[in-house]
């Protein structure tokens, strides 16, 4: 099959990432709505495990709770585990196990390489199931930490920071529902959540009567809507707070909620002082103990900034399209603008890295910035030879390695490249693969680095050697986010089969087969 172009690869990666985030967001929203009708703790925790496993594309999820008078956590609820283990299996509750660390420190933790961890021991339960990765978030209880929500995986992609956000969302819903259930509210006029929980939300949260009148407004909502005092809106129909252009969406939403459905929509509503705002709204029914509609909960998230960015982007695209059609900008000018845009992205990433307090986040942003700069350099060389039938691989690689030597303080890098031409659309992937392999050698190897590119039929063999001690046992399985190795595998055109290692020569040599 033909190799993906750089643009196709980026679009595919963005689509996968966007699809995963969107699915996780929908699962959290649906669970939040469903939690309003849950009256049994076991049902709550079992559903949470099912949703966590679905959102993370793995069969294993569980809720661990502390065992009284011991330093253990018991598998109380879960999916993917043998029935005999649920309710009886235990793991360490101290900070030497991933779950124990999350429980004792009240902080989330990701462990993508359990078998190689120095900070944690691998619980025997996870070893028995062949678990290689675990992600844990604490679950708050009414009077302390209730337990830990954990998702495990035998294989697949590493867990990432956005997965923590997904699990913490589920953990928050569990905590809120536990508080509601423990309170055992008897009054029909009482809210299903305490005001302290509703006021903890950064979103605009309203409790409405069955007829749609405002009965409660959380503090963040009053602030965002610039309402000085709740009495200004208390008892008013919710629909009256919206402008005429948006009232039809609100009326439709209330109608569907009264039928028992949950609703989500986006619409415009200015603050009480007239400042324009756009909102992403979720409305859902709240039932009493007899199953009758009692209240309506409406949660509005301020998406004004996103909406304005979308408008600015659309205007920019339209303006640029008009300008291109009217003035017929030269191809060289277009390339120049692309290069400048890539340098701007590089600068923004570096600025964000400098602002980050997390070293791991800062490092990943810096790596991303370097990759963008590499793409900019590749692009500049390609458009210089835009009118040629192909680009000289030997000249291109020589120039590219020269730039890398300048960027990394002039390390010893030697190269041997066969003389052949390559179409422009495959030069950028070739350059990125070589940059990733040389960067890894500079980071983890030592001595002279040798780069060799050999034409082999319809393929090229890229070999990068250094005088280091060799590769770790898990290599090329990534120890971090793994984006570098995923780029190499994707751009090579051969996926997982593209990489091979050679230690027979006494050097650390990695070989990548690249489709021309």
Q: To 5 degrees, how large is the angle CA 143–CA 35–CA 256?
A: 145
Evaluate if residue 505 carries a pLDDT over 90: no
Q: Is the dihedral of CA 391, 395, 399, 401 positive or negative?
A: positive
- Residue 135 Cα distances to 52, 71, 75, 103, 125, angstroms: 11, 20, 15, 12, 15
Look over the chain and give the mean of its residue pLDDT values, rounded to a whole number. 81
3-state secondary structure of 233: coil
Evaluate if residue 93 carries a pLDDT over 90: no
> What DSSP letter does each residue of 126-161 carry, written as one string?
HHHTT--EEEEEEEE-SSSEEEEEEEEESSSSPP-H
- Please indicate whether residue 451 or residue 318 has the higher confidence score (pLDDT): 451
Question: pLDDT for 439-476, tens place per residue?
Answer: 888 877 888 999 999 999 989 999 999 887 766 666 66
Q: To 5 degrees, how large is the angle CA 378–CA 379–CA 382?
A: 90
- Asked if residue 332 lies in contact with residue 383, where contact means CB atoms within 8 angstroms, the answer is yes
Whose tokens are 């409660």? That residue is 216
d(CA 278, CA 436): 42
Confidence of residue 29 (pLDDT cuts 50, 70, 90): confident
Question: pLDDT for 203-243, tens place per residue?
Answer: 888 999 999 999 999 888 898 899 988 889 889 999 999 99
Evaluate if residue 9 carries a pLDDT over 70: no
3-state secondary structure of 207: strand
Question: pLDDT for 98-133, tens place per residue?
Answer: 898 889 888 899 988 887 777 788 888 998 999 989
Q: Is 55 left (phi over 0), alpha (psi -120 to 50) or beta?
A: alpha
- Specify the pairing of strand 263-268 against strand 60-66: unpaired
Domain 195-304: give its CATH code. 3.30.450.20
Confidence of residue 191 (pLDDT cuts 50, 70, 90): very low
Give how far the C-alpha of residue 165 lies from the chain's centroid of Cα atoms, to the nearest Å. 8
Confidence of residue 193 (pLDDT cuts 50, 70, 90): low
> What DSSP letter does each residue of 204-252 carry, written as one string?
EEEEE-TT-BEEEE-HHHHHHTT-S-GGGTTTSBGGGGS-HHHHHHHHH
What CATH topology corresponds to 388-516? Heat Shock Protein 90 (3.30.565)
What CATH topology corresponds to 22-183? Beta-Lactamase (3.30.450)
- Taking alpha carbons only, the member of 407, 319, 428 closest to residue 4 is 428
Evaluate if residue 186 carries a pLDDT over 80: no
Max mean pLDDT range (14-23, 414-423, 479-488) = 414-423
The two three-digit tokens of residue 469, written as one number: 């001690």
% of the chain beyond a pLDDT of 90: 21
In this predicted structure, what is the pLDDT of residue 164?
85
- Residue 389 Cα distances to 255, 330, 335, 424, angstroms: 64, 20, 18, 8
d(CA 358, CA 365): 11
Question: pLDDT for 345-391, tens place per residue?
Answer: 777 777 777 777 777 777 677 667 767 766 776 666 666 655 566 77
Whose tokens are 């536990």? That residue is 178
Question: pLDDT for 44-72, tens place per residue?
Answer: 999 999 999 999 889 999 999 998 878 89
- Residue 339 Cα distances to 7, 264, 465, angstroms: 15, 41, 31
3-state secondary structure of 368: helix
Contacts of 90 (CB under 8 A, 6+ apart): 67, 72, 73, 74, 75, 125
Confidence of residue 416 (pLDDT cuts 50, 70, 90): very high
Question: pLDDT for 255-266, tens place per residue?
Answer: 999 988 888 888
């Amino acid at each position: 099959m033909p190799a993906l172009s750089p643009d196709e690869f980026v679009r595919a990666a963005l689509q996968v990432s966007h699809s995963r985030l969107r699915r996780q967001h929908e699962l959290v929203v649906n669970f939040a709505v469903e939690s309003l009708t849950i009256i049994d703790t076991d049902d709550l925790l079992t559903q949470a495990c099912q949703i966590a496993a679905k959102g993370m594309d793995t069969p294993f999820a569980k809720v661990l709770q502390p065992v009284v008078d011991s330093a253990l956590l018991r598998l109380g609820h879960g999916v993917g585990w043998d029935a005999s283990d649920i309710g009886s299996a235990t793991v360490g509750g101290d900070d030497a196990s991933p779950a124990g660390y999350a429980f004792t420190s009240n902080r989330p933790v990701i462990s993508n390489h359990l078998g190689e961890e120095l900070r944690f021991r691998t619980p025997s339960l996870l070893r028995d199931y062949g678990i290689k990765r675990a992600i844990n978030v604490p679950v708050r209880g009414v009077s302390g930490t209730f337990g830990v929500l954990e998702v495990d995986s035998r294989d697949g992609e590493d867990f990432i920071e956005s997965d923590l956000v997904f699990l913490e969302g589920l953990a928050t819903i569990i905590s809120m529902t536990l508080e509601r259930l423990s309170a055992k509210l008897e009054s029909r006029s009482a809210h299903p959540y305490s005001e302290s929980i509703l006021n903890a939300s950064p979103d605009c949260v309203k409790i409405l009567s069955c007829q749609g009148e405002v009965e409660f407004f959380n503090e963040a909502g009053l602030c965002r809507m610039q309402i000085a005092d709740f009495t200004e809106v208390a008892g008013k129909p919710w629909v009256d707070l919206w402008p005429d252009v948006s009232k039809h969406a609100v009326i439709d939403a209330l109608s569907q909620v009264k039928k028992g459905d949950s609703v989500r929509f986006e619409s415009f509503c200015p603050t009480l002082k007239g400042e324009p705002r756009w909102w992403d709204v979720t409305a859902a029914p709240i039932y009493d103990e007899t199953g009758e509609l009692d209240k309506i909960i409406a949660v509005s998230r301020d998406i004004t900034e996103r909406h304005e960015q979308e408008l600015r982007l659309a205007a920019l695209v339209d303006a640029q399209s008009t300008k291109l059609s009217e003035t017929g900008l030269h191809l060289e000018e277009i390339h120049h603008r692309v290069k400048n845009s890539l340098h701007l992205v590089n600068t923004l990433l570096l600025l964000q890295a400098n602002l980050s307090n997390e070293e791991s986040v800062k490092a990943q942003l810096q790596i991303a910035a370097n990759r963008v700069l590499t793409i900019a350099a590749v692009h500049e060389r390609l458009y210089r030879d835009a009118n040629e039938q192909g680009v000289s691989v030997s000249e291109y690689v020589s120039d590219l390695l020269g730039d890398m030597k300048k960027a990394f303080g002039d390390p010893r890098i030697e190269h041997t490249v066969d003389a052949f031409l390559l179409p422009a659309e495959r030069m950028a992937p070739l350059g990125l693969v070589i940059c990733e392999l040389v960067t890894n050698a500079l980071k983890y190897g030592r001595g002279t680095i040798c780069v060799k590119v050999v034409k082999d039929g319809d393929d090229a063999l890229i070999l990068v050697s250094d005088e280091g001690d060799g590769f770790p046992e898990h290599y090329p399985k990534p120890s971090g986010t793994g984006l570098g190795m995923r780029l190499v595998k994707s751009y090579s055109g051969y996926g997982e089969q593209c990489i091979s290692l050679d230690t027979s020569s006494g050097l650390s040599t990695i070989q990548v087969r690249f489709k021309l």
